Structures are given as C-alpha cells and as structure tokens.
Amino acid sequence: MIEKVQIADIDTASENGPRTLKIRTKKNIIETPCRMITSTETKFRKDLALSPLDKRFEIETPLFERVYTPKLKTIQDFKRVNGALDRVKNSINRSLRGFDEGISFLNLRFKKDGEPPLDDIESLIHLQCSTKLDLVSIPDLNELSNKKDYEIYVRKHRKYVENISNKEAAPIVDMNNTEDVFRNKIDTIIENGFKLAVLRCRSFNYYYANYKYLRDTKKEEEIWFHMVDTLRDHPYTPLNYTNLPQIFGIDTVSPRTPYGGGEVKATIPEDTKRFDRLSFDNLPLKEQRRRYDGSLGCTCLVCQDRTVSEYIEEYEICENKKERNPVYKWSRIHEIFATNSEFQIGRKFIQSQEFDTYIRSKISARSFLDNLTSRFF
C-alpha cells in the first residue's frame, strides 16, 4: 500500500525539525507536511453545503480519517452477536464514499476507562481488514510497557493484516507514554521496518521530552509520522496545533474531534472560535475583530476578504433549518482551507531552508517557541 517513503528536503538551517516527504502509495503521491480531512469535517460540509455551493467547497484530499471510539461491549459483540461486525463495517465503508482516490485510515481510540484487553485487539484488526480502509491501525495499550512485549504485539498484528488483506499496518503510539516507554515503542516500530507510525497528540509543553526525542533523533528516518487528534481548544493556551507538529518532524496531521461525536454547543456567532492565520491561534470572532480592526485576515473560499461582520451576517443564515450553529461549521471549513494553505506555504520555506523565519512570523507560534527555548535550553 505504501510503496516508498522518501525524504525530499530537510531544513538543516532550522533549530527545529521540519522536513518534507514524498510518500508513494498504490493510489497516489502524498507531499508533506500536510493534513488529513476527517469524517467529522466532511459531515460539516454535508450539513452546510447546499447546491450549488456543493462543488465549490469540495476539497481534494490525498488523506482521509474516520474516527472510531468503540465501546468495550461493541468489540466483544463482534464475536458473539450476529451482524455486529457487519454493522460497524458498513458504517465505516459508508463514510469512505467519495474518497476512493485517497488513502484512508481509522483513528481508533478508547475512552480513558475503556481500553480493551489484549485478547480483543484482534477483533478490531479484523474489522479494519474487512472494510475498504487502506491502512489498519494497531492501537496503543497501556499494558504494553515492556519493549519485548510491544515488539511481539506489533509484529503479530502486522502478520495478521498481511495474511488476510493487502493493507498496511500502522501502529499508534500515544504521546502520553512515559519517556522510556515512548522511546522503546518508537524505536521498535522503526527497527521493524514499519513505513508509518501514528502518534496521538498531547500537550507540547507537558510531553515535551517525547516531542524532543522525535525532533532530535528521527529527522532523518525514512518513516512517515502522522499525528492524530491535534489540539484546537486548550484550557490554557489559544494555540491551534494543526500546523505546529511539523516543528518536531511530524509529517502529517489530523485535527481532533471531541469524544462523543463532535456535537457542537449552540453559541452566539461572535464567540465562535476559528483558526487565525496571522497568529496560529484559535480565536473568537469578537477577538479577531478587536485585534485586526474588523478584518478576518484570510482569503480562502469561505472568507474571501469579508470583514468579521460580513462573515457573520452571511453565514449565520443557513438553508438547512435544523442547523443550529452554521457560523461554527463554516469556520471549521475555513480552517481546512486555511491550514492547508499554510502547509503549502510552509513547505516552500522548508525547501529554501527558512522555516524558522516562516514559523516565527506567526505571533503565537513565535511566543510558543520562545517559551520552549527559555524553559528547556
């Protein structure tokens, strides 16, 4: 499925770890850094995009992510209840419609108290093999803290995938592992020749040691690092993480969907937060208006040089009467376009060895980096 992962450029002038990869798969060529489109985001488009807007807001993507948070009981039902596996399989396949050209992946995650026992993992691997997904994720488990156990686990499941499908196995590693366990897991994945490692995003500040390990030691490895669940709404910082993992040499990202399916609370439009290209913050519209004198600072298809007021006026009305919060959903579509464009711009700076100049031109990204430097060096 993934035929070749090749490092195209590394910005050696940068104190950080940005690089660009060329990933050749059976279906396409993926140039990094870039982002995936998630199933929640495609749902937003369906909720809002009424014809004739439909075509205009279609986004071509080489990568697609479906989020799946199974209950323990559902996983056990795969083996003991007729039709249980097929129901989930069909639901996954339905969400992949229209993404045949891209590479698709299941962001398999568990709630805090819902980690399944080791014996049930095979059911989840089997489920993915029986769908149209291109990649098969091997979940991370807390109990796998020993290097040897972890190696046996990932090898066993990769073999299972290879025996019954032509898909690619992709182990997930949570950034919240302790330092030594994290290092062992990443090293095991590389030593065993996996072409892709999936990382689950956690706070850059709190788990800095793990991020630093990737940045300082894995920059020249020909393996694709994808990060799921990149954070957008933090309790303590306005930073939107989408375009920042590349600082640590992470090649592709997919933004976080809240647990429980991404239900959005109705809020007044001025309080709606959106990705701000000038700072890399997730900024409420009223703060955007205050900071930039009413301007949105974005020329994407959704914004097109509208003022904050024009933006709200246009998007708070939605033909779908059931839609409670259209400004929020339009803002997330803006986020897809805007973060995508920033990745494309950033790529050119990596190629010309000027990534630090680029990233430091974003006000909040700059203070984030300065803060890291003063704390850890």
Binding stretches for Zn ion (CB under 5 A): 298, 300, 302-303, 334, 338
Supply the angle between the helices 72-80 and 121-129 in degrees, to the nearest 10.
70
Nearer to Zn ion, 304 or 373 (CB): 304
First to last CA, the chain: 41
CA distance 72 to 119: 12
Least distance from Zn ion to the Cβ atom of residue 376, Å = 34
Nearer to Zn ion, 222 or 313 (CB): 313
Nearer to Zn ion, 57 or 208 (CB): 57
Q: Which DSSP letter does residue 295 get? A: B
Least distance from Zn ion to the Cβ atom of residue 216, Å = 35
Least distance from Zn ion to the Cβ atom of residue 62, Å = 21
Nearer to Zn ion, 248 or 280 (CB): 280
Least distance from Zn ion to the Cβ atom of residue 32, Å = 22
CA distance 330 to 312: 10
Task: Please identify which residue in the block is written with the tokens 């989930």.
Answer: 88
Nearer to Zn ion, 285 or 303 (CB): 303
CA distance 341 to 337: 6
Nearer to Zn ion, 190 or 278 (CB): 278
| Biggest CA pair distance of the chain | 61
Least distance from Zn ion to the Cβ atom of residue 258, Å = 22
CA distance 354 to 356: 6
Nearer to Zn ion, 2 or 308 (CB): 308
**Residue 58: both structure tokens together:** 């279609």
Sign of CA dihedral 149, 154, 157, 162: negative
Cis? peptide before 238, omega within 30° of 0: no
Task: Assign 8 to helix, strand or coil.
Answer: strand
Amino acid at 236: Y
Least distance from Zn ion to the Cβ atom of residue 73, Å = 42
Least distance from Zn ion to the Cβ atom of residue 340, Å = 10
